[in-house]
Structure 1
Amino acid sequence: MGSRAAMAPPLGNDVHTSGPGHRRSRRSVLAGFSALGALGALGAAGCTRVAVASGRNGGDLLDRLRAQGVVRLGIAGEIPFGYIDTDGQLTGEAPELAKVIFKRLGVDRVQPVPTEFGSLIPGLNSQQFDVVAAGMYVNPERCEQVIFADPDYQMLDSFIVRKGNPKGLHSYKDVVAKKAKFATGTGYAEIQYAVEAGYEESDILIVPDQVAGLNAVEAGRVDVFAGTALTTREVVKKSTKAEATKPFEPLVKGEPHVDGGAFAFRPTETGLRDAFNAELRKLKKSGELLRILRPFGFTEAEMTDLTAKELCGG
């Protein structure tokens, strides 16, 4: 879960949801990236706190998407969540799920719109794309800006550390207690987790993505980089100097916390969000959701019944 700035996929590359599947394993890399693969940042999510608040019915947008035959997906170039592969094809757990759901909703094609992770919510709300398909975390702060579908997966955290984990870092409390030099990505939820554990926010090294985080650990500029379990273990696969720690639950208000990733919509598009949720529930019930996500490293452990309302804080 190469920097995103290096990615230059064709913005008008429509992908037919009804065509042959383009699923890649989570070992795939982004077009234009190094052999390490290009990892962006998972760690953001949205849903307005009042999930049903809306200025107008999002069904209007769904009608327009059906008429146009294409939906624009905001992606952040992160394996395995949403990226362009070495063949120039849009893939990842969120785009592949979007292809299935939007096909069922009568929209035949998806079109990727790559951007920086921190630009996903602003880009959505300025109508640069129709939906965020980047495995975004649902949290109260983002819930003030966008609305979310229910999570399609849940996720634990993990650290990138030097081989052998010389400082014995297995939690954010360890990072604080051992005065480790800590890094994470722009806009990541991991910033808040570290601060809650007692780490000074001003001391956190913020880097663009997980490849940059790996580089910082390998170079000795930091002791640890925090990200999600899926993306940290992916980015270290070819590293001879770093490894990923065992996944763990961060603490939020003193309690173990499990994150959930979901699709984000503009606050006014409740109709589209609700239609999306209805199809997502069917995929969960039938087990098809896991079959769609499994090629990207997801397992039964990542399946969840969490709701956006729960993760938004009520």
Structure 2
Amino acid sequence: MAPPNRQPTHHKNPTRRSLLAGVAAVGALGAAGCTRVATASTTDGGDLLDRLRAAGVVRLGIAGEIPFGYIDRDGQLTGEAPELAKAIFKRLGVDRVQPVPTEFGSLIPGLNSQQFDVVAAGMYVTPERCAQVLFADPDYQMLDSFVVRKGNPKGLHTYRDVVAKKAKFATGTGYAQIEHAVAAGYKESDILIVPDQVAGLNAVEAGRVDVFAGTAVTTRDVVTKSRKAESTKPFAPLVDGKPTVDGGAFAFRLTETRLRDAFNAELHKLKKSGELARVLRPFGFTKAEMTDLTAKELCGG
């Protein structure tokens, strides 16, 4: 799918994964067995926060992607976004979180059709998405990194290296790294698209490709037990000729400004206290992924 239109900014605004819309995407949510939440708020700023407090539970849209939001082997909801949601919503008077798993492309349609209350999937903030949902400020920032064979025999450290050395290149379905490679001059039709970072690692280990591109945190995690592959040093890809950085955040319906603002207030308290870093650390996030980026910056406003 084509990348979103860009607006000039000092930071990067591509998608990390594709935004698939339409009836079929929403239908996938129904097939997952979830039920609808209460109807949309009609009061100024929205009344969802009051309704969540009364119900004692908030429904989180997740996309089953490690480390952002997923169900673990014990059937428990976890990931950087769900764990952060647990901490913040408890502070807001909502004691429980309930996962609603779906495909990443169904998250925004599902949110706006009342299938769940908030997107908790580490979603990148982009101008295209900002027209459809209301973002909190980013809880993390992210650079790119490669999975390559041990010793990095082709010397692949940037997308320009991939192009110059005619390396066989792979990345995940709808990943922003597709756009980054194309911006460097790699032919999109030559990119091998795989389901996720595990499939990317397997492709590198088997020699089907020379490099798999993903986020710094996912590539760092996936190679930990590999004897044949390693991850490269994180780097900022060039977009429109400028080094750029992504930011991931929670998403709310456009009418729910009151809930978003309350969430933001608690998020900033966690940032200031250092608790945010402690919540995210078990999922591979380091000091380098902590950020002061704002949704306004990344939305192009």
Residue-by-residue CA offset, 1:222-273 (whole Å, 9 max, x unaligned): 2211111111111112222221111111112111111111111222222221
Matched, 1:168 2:155: yes
Deviation readout 1:190-227 (Å, 9 max, x if unpaired): 11111111112222222221112112222222221111
Aligned with 1:196 (options 158, 183, 193): 183
Residues 45 and 137, structure 1, Cα contact 8 Å, conserved in 2: no
Q: Is the CA contact (8 Å cut-off) linking 2:46 and 2:255 kept in structure 1?
A: no
Q: Name the residue aligned to 1:18.
A: none
Letter of the aligned partner of 1:144 in structure 2? A
Aligned to 2:134: 147
Identity value in percent? 86
Asked whether the equivalents of residues 204 and 211 of structure 2 are also in contact (C-alpha less than 8 Å), the reply is yes
Give the deviation of 1:61 after TM superposition: 1.5
Partner of 2:48: 61
SS of residue in 2 equivalent to 1:247: coil
5+ residue gaps, structure 2: 1-14, 20-40
How far apart, in 1, do the equivalents of 2:241 and 2:43 lie? 39
How far did residue 44 of structure 1 move? 4.4
Separation in 2 of the partners of 1:45 and 1:95? 21
Q: How does 1:17-28 map to 2 (within 5 A)?
A: none
> Residue 18 of structure 2 contacts residue 175 of structure 2 at CA under 8 Å; is this kept in 1?
no
CA distance in 1, matches of 2:102, 2:120: 11
C-alpha RMSD of matched pairs (Å): 2.0
User: How far apart, CA to CA, are the structure 1 residues paired with 2:75 and 2:59?
Assistant: 16
Distance 2:131 2:210 in 1: 33
The alignment partner of 2:291 has SS state of coil
Query: Which residue of structure 2 aligns with residue 184 of structure 1?
Result: 171
Alignment of 1:235-274 (within 5 A): 235-274=222-261
Task: State the Cα distance separating 1:142 from its structure 2 match.
Answer: 2.4
**Partners of 2:220 and 2:264 in 1: how far apart?**
30
| Matching residue of 2:274 | 287
Could you tell me how far 1:294 is from its partner in structure 2?
Answer: 1.9
Is 1:157 aligned with 2:144?
yes
Q: Which moved more, 1:88-97 or 1:133-142?
A: 133-142
Whole-Å separation in 2 of the counterparts to 1:204 and 1:122: 28
Q: How many residues align?
A: 266
1:133 aligns with 2:106: no
The answer to whether the 8 A contact 2:18-2:104 is kept is no
CA distance in 1, matches of 2:284, 2:195: 23
What amino acid does structure 2 have at the position aligned with 1:159? F
Q: CA deviation at 1:79?
A: 2.3
Kindly provide the CA deviation profile for residues 122-161 of structure 1, in whole angstroms up to 9, marking residues without a partner as x: 2222222211111111122322332211001111110111
How far the C-alpha of 1:78 sits from its partner, in A, is 2.2
Structure 1: runs of 5 or more not aligned: 1-41, 47-53
Report matched runs for 1:4-83 at 5 Å.
Answer: 43-44=16-17, 57-83=44-70
Match of 1:307 among 282, 294, 297: 294
Q: Which residue of 1 aligns with 2:38?
A: none
Q: Is the 8 A contact 1:45 1:138 kept in 2?
A: no
Distance in structure 2 (CA, Å) of the matches to 1:176 and 1:299: 30
Match for 2:16: what amino acid?
A: G
User: Deviation string for 1:151-194 (max 9, x for gaps)?
Assistant: 01111110111222121110111111112121111221111111
Range with bigger deviation, 139-148 or 176-185:
139-148
Using structure 2 for the length normalisation, give the TM-score.
0.82
